[in-house]
Chains A and B, each alone.
Chain A
């Protein structure tokens, strides 16, 4: 038993070394911009550049729209499948898994073929059309995560009773969805939303091939041309991912605690 515990500590120590070394190294590297002393110059340069501001703002707004559209697509579907169309569950679940099966580069290639300049719906030819296409692509990337967290949250509440109670009070379907169901699955919605945001904010493949001025292609461009700024950006990106996961823990804890008590 004692040797087993030593082995477990050893495994964790090696794991910690592998996972912390790149973070420490990247942070150290990001401080080396000024010769001979540590400074936050690289961060100052990055955070002060308008290319950073523009691309980051673009991706943030696109991420927010993605989350709203994703929820509009997923929440009513999950609700109706739960309540009245259980025979669709298999099909819906299969579809939500597709974005994990189809590589992003294949999917975006399909977009370019289907919605390119010679198509009946040439979305890629206008800037707004390409933005919309990118947004729908991101809804696809987030679909598995949004669906799963909404579905888990729906399972934890009594959808049928809540719906019947609201109906007997004279509520219409929109009132039921937005004022009764939505507040009750808030934790699931927030988990799905933050996870989607974490995936979308630095996404490269879709944005680059649809030629959009997003944060991912900006990161790649800086990486190809600068020395110290990429490290500062990597630290910022890691902090962002960490913040999204932290927010999931914070808001998701409602579900998890009640599940533990059972």
Chain B
């Protein structure tokens, strides 16, 4: 009698926890089936040969010139668009948040950034073709005042054109990511610096920069990973003319080139390594800057 009562009471205590575990079960099943297992199976495949035996040959074959150049081009485009995206995004955020501009500037910039950072992919490529393509609006406008950008060496379907296009979502992303850090700069710090006789330049160099740099560097790494994994914009803009890694992998999956699934898995592993490391560094730097900006 007493034992059943005790069993019932422990059961009643345990039941809610069982319900809780049942409640989170779909999430974990989803994560395992559609995030973890697919990725893990690629990682395993990168170390297997055709018969499933362990090998490092796939990784070795990443070193062949065409693939090496693809990685190099991808890294260059991502670094360039992350660097200029971070620089310009930071400048815009500082101007809107600390530049003494009217109150409507800030919400306008933030809302627009929310839209533009999500306006990527195929439509963005269309927009830039209509702007800076051979018959684009700006190209024609500049030609009519005597400056032909295509004669001057510009081409939308090259490294420069792709970087310029990527900036359209990189700059707004930077504004959104770095704005909280700029908001975290307290007015007291600026006042204290002024009272102690610091000039504007000294305040920015000796107080703002040391506090902001982890956020800025972290956000730059996020932008880098963001550009490195992007494919739709580049594919719609240049087809397979610019052989960045995602486009090479796309072609491999479609069965157009390579004809070697295991090499494809190794390509994917390389991409994952690069985006994974830069995201980890971003998270570390964000944790570091959060210490100051509470």
Q: Which residues of A contact B (CB under 8 A)?
A: 1, 4-5, 7-9, 11-12, 15, 18-19, 21-26, 28-30, 72-74, 76-77, 79-81, 83-85, 88, 92, 95, 97-115, 136-137, 139-140, 173, 195, 198-199, 202-205, 209, 216, 219-220, 223-224, 230-231, 233-234, 237-238, 241-242, 244-245, 248-249
Contacts and interface: CB of A to CB of B under 8 A. Distances in A.
A163 to B, nearest CB: 10
Contacts of B264: 109
Nearest to A211: B254
Contacts of B96: 8, 12
B162 to A, nearest CB: 14
A112 B124 CA distance: 27
B272 A106 contact: yes
Contacts of B171: 15, 18-19
Interface of B: 16-17, 19-21, 23-24, 26-27, 30-31, 33-39, 41-42, 45, 88, 91-92, 94-96, 99-101, 105, 109, 111-112, 114-116, 118-119, 121-131, 136-138, 167-168, 171, 200, 225, 228-232, 235-236, 239, 246, 249-250, 253-254, 261, 264-265, 268, 271-272, 275-276, 279, 283
B229 A220 contact: no
B38 A114 contact: yes
Contacts of A112: 253
Nearest to A172: B19
B137 A25 contact: yes
15 contacts: A9-B95, A12-B96, A18-B171, A25-B138, A77-B27, A88-B24, A95-B35, A107-B35, A109-B253, A110-B268, A204-B235, A234-B130, A238-B127, A242-B115, A245-B118
B99 to A, nearest CB: 3
A245 B27 contact: no
Nearest to B35: A98
Smallest CB-CB A-B distances: 5 pairs: A8-B99, A110-B38, A103-B229, A25-B137, A237-B123
B92 A241 contact: no
Contacts of B105: 12
Contacts of A219: 122-123, 126, 236
Contact of A4 (B92, B100, B254, B276): B100
A203 B121 contact: yes
Contacts of B121: 202-204, 216
Nearest to B26: A73
A65 to B, nearest CB: 14
Contact of B111 (A28, A83, A245): A245
A104 B232 CA distance: 10
B127 A25 contact: yes
A29 B229 CA distance: 30
B39 A234 contact: no
B41 A29 contact: no
Given A109-B268, A110-B41, A219-B123, A26 B24 contact: no
Contacts of A23: 127
A242 B114 CA distance: 9
The residue among A22, A115, A245 with the most chain B CB atoms within 10 A of its own CB is: A22
A100 to B, nearest CB: 7
Nearest to B226: A100
A126 to B, nearest CB: 17
Contact of B24 (A80, A199, A244): A80
B101 A9 contact: yes
A30 to B, nearest CB: 7
A7 B123 contact: no
A237 B283 CA distance: 32
Given A80-B21, A136-B34, A205-B231, 13 more contacts: A1-B100, A21-B131, A84-B16, A98-B31, A99-B35, A102-B272, A103-B271, A109-B264, A111-B38, A219-B123, A220-B122, A223-B129, A224-B239
B56 to A, nearest CB: 20
A103 B131 contact: no
B131 A26 contact: yes
Nearest to B105: A12
Given A8-B101, A22-B128, A104 B229 contact: yes
Given A110-B38, A113-B38, A234 B127 contact: yes
A61 B246 CA distance: 28
The residue among A15, A100, A108 with the most chain B CB atoms within 10 A of its own CB is: A15
A173 B24 CA distance: 13
Contacts of B283: 97
Contact of B130 (A30, A101, A220, A245): A30
Contacts of B250: 105, 205, 209
B85 to A, nearest CB: 12
Contacts of A24: 137
A96 to B, nearest CB: 9
A85 B115 CA distance: 35
B122 A107 contact: no
